[in-house]
Amino acid sequence: MGIITYSVVIPVYNGAETVTELAGEIIDLFDRLGTGFEIIFVDDYSEDYSWNIIRGLAAADNRITAIKLDANYGQHNATVCGLKYALGDYIITMDDDLQHSPEDILKLIRKMEETGADVVIARLVNKKHSWHRRRASDLMRSLNELMIKKPGGLHLSSFRLVKRFIAEEMLRVQVPFVFIPALIFGVTRNVVNVDVEHRKRLYGSSNYSFGKMIGLAVRLFLNTTPVMRRISNHKRPRCVVAEVVGREGTGHGSSAYEREPRSGTEELD
């Protein structure tokens, strides 16, 4: 495979209609850049045929790894699982629904080069979300500033570029419930935004629900409770991998990041 500079980690849930096109756009970008890369798809126990597709992509291209989880653990845990497998010096995380444009990866890279930031997070402009989703995002923004000490004015999204040593430190943080921004701010405050367009959803519907937003708020609260944090030190979260295709061939049953199954929550901001 050669030297891997960038790892692109993509949690997948019911993304059968989009993952092939997404992989093609990412490959086209890095082939033009002439930069070593890999794509890591993590199937979070999809209910459609996503696994069959990403499994086939990985079998056909050694720059793609497909990971299948044994249950639905949620977007954040699936992403963390992908981080465990990433080999690149820099790690990009993005959604599977094509609303994050692979071409905007260049903006993340340039912003990191210009600022020396440890993490660059895309600020999604002209969001193509519903009214109630935007209001929920406003609420979560306030909760994030209060509970995880997110700097005011900094916008969160799941489209981000992270230096490898930061990702490695994030994986060492033990919390009752995995929430990636909390892991980031637990390791570094050298985080900046860059503006990118939010593309219109062409397929399917969002996996977000109001109930999931409430669930995330509760878990954020528990993460900040000293008793719950002490409990977490005795049992690492769990995320069990059922199958891996790509890079090292096909395998079964490895445990990447242990945690009890929990319904997924999208990242809101």
What are 88-104's pLDDT values in tens digits? Answer: 999 999 999 999 999 99
Query: What pLDDT sits at residue 148?
Result: 72
Q: What is the chain's mean pLDDT, rounded? A: 83
Query: What pLDDT sits at residue 267?
Result: 47
How many residues are present in the chain?
A: 269
Give which of 113, 134, 117, 143 is closest to 221, Cα–Cα. Answer: 143
Residue pLDDT, tens place only, 152-177: 889 999 999 999 999 999 999 877 78
Structure tokens at 5: 């500079």
Residue pLDDT, tens place only, 32-84: 999 999 999 999 999 999 999 999 999 999 999 999 999 999 999 999 999 99
Structure tokens at 86: 């990433």
Query: What pLDDT sits at residue 30?
Result: 98
Structure tokens at 63: 């720059």
Residue 7 in this model has a pLDDT that exceeds 90: yes
Choose between 24 and 214: higher pLDDT.
24
Query: What pLDDT sits at residue 133?
Result: 55
Show me where the domains of the chain are located.
6-252
Strand pairing report for 37-43 and 64-69: parallel
CATH fold of 6-252: Spore Coat Polysaccharide Biosynthesis Protein SpsA; Chain A (3.90.550)
Residue 238 in this model has a pLDDT that exceeds 70: no
Helix (H) or strand (E) segment spanning residue 12: strand 6-12
